[in-house]
A and B are shown apart, each in its own frame.
Chain A
């Protein structure tokens, strides 16, 4: 572990703020405040806006995916066979993810974001173009949730995010096989930071 101090700060069953502060005080007495401060600020910086913000980030991605497959089923020229079956399944899954995430956000007292405006450009010009973009979205979904999940505070929300990200990984593998690509790039999936993800989806989002 690169920063064992983070582990000692990360205590379950207390509110984050209280244990971050308490942990910092406890750790500071052992290591000296200046040694601990960078880890504490890192931990606080990673907190961002909390679970509702993370869920809304995930919801935006699921809206994008769901709309992508919905439009694909109508617009992709020559969509047939396995590719069409997969598109149908994935569309249904992403719609279920949208509903579940919106419910979870409301459950935490938050307001679900509205679906983003979309423009998928030439992604529906052919089945090959569709599958290529689908692979981008599914791999991105995996990286986005893997990157965000460690910052989730609620154990229940973390469990739901894990349950969704495994399904995204299964989607990614299925699409990659249809593209004749290896099912995974590496033995470890990447964890993407939010700005990286937002940059990657930018071409498809119309503000």
Chain B
């Protein structure tokens, strides 16, 4: 179980404060809107983006 978590263990939860001011990773990801969503074309230069990460669908967020 520990071995499986190894790839993530080197990236411990970054302190909330240390990320502020950094540039976000640009991403393209499949979405529930039947299209891949690309950060640059949809949001960059246009809208602020709120991203909520959650463990799994059908669980409380």
Q: Do A and B bind each other?
A: no
Residues of chain B touching chain A, judged by Cβ–Cβ distance below 8 Å, are none
Residues of chain A touching chain B, judged by Cβ–Cβ distance below 8 Å, are none
